[in-house]
Amino acid sequence: MTDPSKKQKVVIVGAGPVGSLAALYAASRGDDVEIYELRGDLRDPSTIPLNFTKSINLALSERGINSMKQSGQHCLIDKLLQETIPMYGRMIHGKSTSGELWEAAQAYDVHGRAINAVDRGALNNALLDELDRTPNVKMFFNHKLTGADFRSNKAWFERRILGGADDKSKFSNTSDRAPEVEVSFDMLIGADGAHSATRYHMMKFARVDYQQEYIDTLWCEFRIPPREDGDFRISPNHLHIWPGKEFMFIALPSSDKSFTCTLFAPSSYYTKLENAPQEVVEFFDEYFPGVCPDLITPHDLQEQFASNPHLPLISIKCKPHHYGSSVVILGDAAHAVLPFYGQGLNAGMEDVRVLFEILDKHGVYDSPLDPDAQRAFRASAFQAYTDQRAPDTHAINDLSKRNYLEMRWGVKLPLYKFRKSVEETLDSYFPRLGWRTQYSRVSFSNERYSEVIRAADRQGEIFTTCLGSIALLLLGSIGFILYKFRTQLLPSGFILRPLQALTDISFRAYNAALRTYSYS
């Protein structure tokens, strides 16, 4: 039982999945928790998302599941998992030179593990419902963070008045002008997304190294409806990919038997199609065979492209993730990552687990009653959190960028398939070697992201060295044969030409291995 006199007041900005999970962690330790959300109640269907669209379906994997379990809400995670759809691998779609459609499954994991497709709204609603049942948590919607003083531990929120009663807020004002309220805190957690107001105000106090990048790719959402009998039109247990080298189209299953789909393409392609919308169907016919009209009708395809927004993809790195003992940022506020590894949600939830494990380790919840000592413990914990977490969040940022190339093109390369087969064979039959695919390390373990990169790079070096050694051995053998039997071979090209061709193949294989290592 937590001593009430040791309670902290924790203010959390952002009521998305990461902020909601952080509130559960803090509340379970006895803190008085207040959550402030810019939008209205996210459980209300009329609440408009900040990007004015549904977001890409979320992929919940081991890191996110483990982080929710560590909150102590076992019933919550069990219920959520029952509503998810397991995806055991990718399904690659294409068309042969003869015009026949084909699909090829690529398992994610040699041990049969799956990632879980989950509806963002269902996940968020379940977390908010749990917070509603938690007595030491208060939620305030339609509150915008407008200022913060992280030395005096005060924050100011503008309460948006929408014309109706707001029974979830402790503030009221009859003025037409949006009122601003002052809130004090011991610890403020910013989980308010890529365009974080918390990070903006924190940067006035901390010397934050900040890097933001918009890649030259836009995304647009589409929907594959259920079949007439109400079932899925394609396999629900795969992430479907139509790779196109410069772009790709993907489809993730939804609980209503539809698929949420996304077109990722350079902005120049979007500009071309926006100027000539009648070419959308032709574009899909050429690059994403089988989508239209088999899965989406031409009319729906054109309508969805025209009506759904074409949105950018942002990548953010920053350090530190805190200031003093008063504020720390989590999730996209600290490290917005591209969606190509399905780790944005999982990394954000892992932030929460790592942060509170470090707070526990540094005695923040066992500290003496002296507030100054508790602040010192918290400052030490925040610094340790930044030191540990920043390299890992930078790593998953880099991994996500690399995986875009793999998804849109690498999955079709024979050498990629060969390396994947070798790594999975070693993992299956010689587990003591510790050899695993990079995907398995990211999605099915809690290994630090920075360690994943180091392990994958080591394996890549070994793989490339082995291929190079085989190529050199083959070249040496050919050279020996040419020298040994030069008098018999040189007059005739019958044997010499095939050997020369074999030499060329060896060189190409070695160069291909180097290219594969560069992005794997």
Instruction: Return the amino acid letter for 482.
Output: L
Give the E-state strand segments of 61-208 in sequence order.
85-87, 89-95, 101-107, 115-118, 137-140, 143-149, 154-159, 180-184, 187-190
Closest of 343, 308, 336, 322 to residue 448, by C-alpha: 343
Q: What pLDDT is attached to residue 347? A: 97
DSSP category for residue 365: T
Contact 288, 408 (CB under 8 A): no
How far from chain centre, in Å, is Cα 85? 17
Instruction: Return the amino acid letter for 353.
Output: R
Q: What angle do CA 55, 327, 37 make, to 5 degrees?
A: 40
Q: What pLDDT is attached to residue 499? A: 53
Question: Among the residues of 288-437, which ranges form H helices?
Answer: 298-307, 332-335, 344-361, 371-408, 414-429
Instruction: Return the amino acid letter for 154.
Output: K
Question: Among the residues of 147-264, which ranges form H helices?
Answer: 197-202
Contact 289, 93 (CB under 8 A): yes
All structural domains of the chain, each given as residue ranges with its CATH number in brackets, are 8-83+119-208+320-403 (3.50.50.60), 212-311 (3.30.9), 413-519 (no CATH)
Residues of the chain with pLDDT under 50: 1-2, 4, 52, 164-175, 494, 516-520
Contact 37, 140 (CB under 8 A): yes
Q: What pLDDT is attached to residue 48? A: 64
Q: What pLDDT is attached to residue 478? A: 73
62-69 and 74-82 helices, crossing angle to 10°: 150
By CB atoms closer than 10 A (0-12, 13-18, 19+), residue 400 is buried
Q: What angle do CA 12, 377, 63 make, to 5 degrees?
A: 55
Q: What pLDDT is attached to residue 7? A: 80
Cα–Cα distance, 217 to 266 (Å, whole number):
4
Cα–Cα distance, 250 to 244 (Å, whole number):
11
pLDDT in tens, 30-62: 999 999 999 998 888 777 665 545 555 789 999
pLDDT in tens, 195-251: 999 999 999 999 999 999 999 999 999 999 999 999 999 999 999 999 988 899 999
Cα–Cα distance, 37 to 321 (Å, whole number):
20
Residues sharing a CB contact under 8 Å with residue 342, sequence separation 6 or more, in sequence order: 58, 59, 61, 115, 443
By CB atoms closer than 10 A (0-12, 13-18, 19+), residue 161 is middle
Q: What pLDDT is attached to residue 237? A: 96
Residue identified by tokens 């944005």 is: 344
Contact 36, 11 (CB under 8 A): yes
Cα–Cα distance, 289 to 281 (Å, whole number):
10
How far from chain centre, in Å, is Cα 295? 26
Secondary structure percentages of the chain, helix, strand, coil, to 5: 45, 20, 35
**SS3 at position 221:** strand
